[in-house]
Copies of this chain bind each other. A is one copy, B any other.
Amino acid sequence: MNKIEVCFSPLQFHLFDSKDAIVVVVDILRATTVITTMFENGASKIIPVKTIEEAIEYKQKGYMVVAERDGIKLDFADFGNSPFFFTPEIIKDKTLVYSTTNGTNAITIGKNSKQVIIGSFINLSTVVEYLKSQNSNVLILCAGWKDRFSLEDSLFAGAIVYELLKDKNFTTNCDSATISQDMWIEAKDNLTTYIDKAAHRHRLKKLGMDDIIDYCFTLNTSNALPVLVGNEMINIG
């Protein structure tokens, strides 16, 4: 029987047994939605980096760099963190370097686990079908907001828990998985209304960036499946 657990904050990641689990990293607003979009539109590789200094180094070497902090694009970067920037014309067959407030940290801390994959509402079905095919424990890591609980990330975790528990090869005894699933059951028939409760949704609104909300909460528009291999992400979808 495969175990499903949900970790609400990167600060708690070490409390979970990740060695035998596929880790699904979630940062709905916006890192994991943007990364999925990049691959959907043909990016060849994405290099996640934690610090601004590393991102600047890559920029100096000639890489295309995406970098933001607290929702705002950093001056030296080529792009901020909106999925709308990354059209096929711009990123097909390109390697990008990517550094954001919460998401890239969450991706890199999972790297000693069995595997790290990237989940978002836009590739939900692809993620679920992959997990069902792997016969493995699953640990969903919510990037959160600066290590705090985030509504939209745990809601997505709940969508995965809900789908996997339909399959009799999965079980859970994890309170955060149970509550995430409850959130999804309450939200799933009216996602837009539900996520209006999220604090980060209002943070983005203040920054004039809430044009991406509908996009980030639309299900299954992408078949991309980003996976971390070494220090780079590639698409196995």
Contact = CB atoms under 8 A, between A and B. Distances in A.
B147 A12 contact: yes
A150 interface: yes
B151 A178 contact: yes
B179 A154 contact: yes
B179 A149 contact: yes
A190 to B, nearest CB: 14
Query: Could you say how many copies of this chain the assembly holds?
Result: 2
B179 A147 contact: no
A146 interface: yes
A41 to B, nearest CB: 30
Contact of A149 (B150, B175, B200): B175
Contact of A199 (B173, B182, B197): B173
Interface of A: 8-9, 11-12, 15, 145-151, 154, 173-176, 178-179, 182-183, 186, 197-200, 202
